[in-house]
Structures are given as structure tokens and as C-alpha cells.
Structure 1
């Protein structure tokens, strides 16, 4: 099993950061650029889209407002993505970890790094 982890300091409080990460209208601005559907309950369905890659399904695993959001790519047992939040001064430290049988860990890590950069910029807008 492989595991990657990336983090960034988002210049917003945990509640605002939570909204940016779990509300589909914001989620598509920093990660799933072709659109996102998120049923924000444990066991809920997710569909994430990219124009160049297509649609991907996932299942929500954990919903802990302001602390942790996790989902698992389908089909089972897909990779697990965990997003955790920690207050840090006036901002929020966001850590994204993905674990499982990663096809290309380096590419996944780069994609999460880029997405976290976009998330931090979105928080400033």
C-alpha cells in the first residue's frame, strides 16, 4: 500500500475552509474542474468530473465538519482520500493524504499539490 500526503496553509478559518472543500460549487474550482456532486453524509455518493479525464465515482467515508472529510474512489476497494483541517493562527492547515494501490504516486502528489495551491488562492478571493 502506498501513501502520499500534501499540505498547505489556507488563509481562512476552519468553517470557511470546510465549505470550500465540501461544497460542490467550490470543489470544482480547486479540484474537479468539470463539476462535482457530493452527497455530504457518510456513505454518500460523489461524482467528480474533468473535461480531459471524464467522470469518476467515489463514496463519502467521513464527514466531521471543520475537522475531516474523506472519500474512497470506486470501484471498491479504491484509494482512500482523507482531508484534515487544523487551526493555525488565523488560517487552517489542510492536509490531503491518499492511500491505496496508487497507479502513479508522483503524479497524484503533484495533482494534490496543485489543487491545494488553487484552494489557498480561492480562500483569498
Structure 2
């Protein structure tokens, strides 16, 4: 199963890349309890939410300014790919999650909300 959500973020791809890969920014739009990201293929990730706890992942792909992908653990976890494409003065951000997707509707809603928060963060 696969789901995809996208939004145009009001920032150039270089700035948007920092927002989607640097832990201090990821905490502001997605993992509100904190994020640890070793930004290299095979790198460790831990995304935390106060109400849900911590969720480990592994970095799968790093293409600066264009694509970031990670896989939830344990293997074989769902794959999350975040792609950035220039869109006028902004950046089209597409988040695709594929795998078993235990609750696709909840995941889609969460990514849509996260993209909305990311767009607001980019305006600051």
C-alpha cells in the first residue's frame, strides 16, 4: 500500500531541505518530542512524540536538496520518501509512505497536518 501527500512550501529547496532534515526543525513540524538524525545512508534516526514515545528508523537515501528517505524499524518497516522539487519561488514537497501502513487514513492525515506546519515554519 502507498499513500502520498504534497504541498508547496514557501521557501527555496535549499532552505526547505534544512527544514526536513535538521533535527531542530523536524521537531517543529513533525516529531514534536525531538528528533535524532544521522543524515547519511544507513544512519540511525529516532523520532519522538511525548504522547507516543520514540520510534526508531534508518536513513535510506540522502540526496541533498532533492530527496530524503527513511524506513521505520524493525525491518521491514514502512518506507517514507520526502522529495523536493522547485516550484516557482517555493518548493513542492511530496511525502510518500509505502509498506503495510497499519492505519493509512491516520498516516495520511498526519502527513497532511505536518506539511501544513512545515509551510508555516518556512514563512518564519
Q: Aligned residue for 1:114?
A: 113
SS of 2:25's equivalent in the other structure is: helix
Counterparts of 1:1-125 in structure 2, within 5 Å, are 2-125=1-124
- Deviation (angstroms), 1:98: 0.1
How many pairs does the alignment contain?
Answer: 124
Provide TM-score, normalisation by structure 1: 0.99
RMSD: 0.3
Aligned counterparts of 1:98 and 1:115: Cα–Cα separation in 2: 13
For 1:119 and 1:103, locate their aligned partners in 2 and report how far apart those are by CA, in whole Å: 24
CA deviation digits over 1:57-116, x for unaligned, max 9?
000000000110000000000000000000000000000000000000000000000000
SS across alignment from 1:112: helix
Q: Using the alignment, how far apart are the partners of 1:119 and 1:82 within structure 2?
A: 16
- Name the CA distance, whole Å, in 2 between partners of 1:98 and 1:112: 9
Query: Secondary structure of the equivalent of 1:75?
Result: coil
Distance 1:92 1:105 in 2: 25
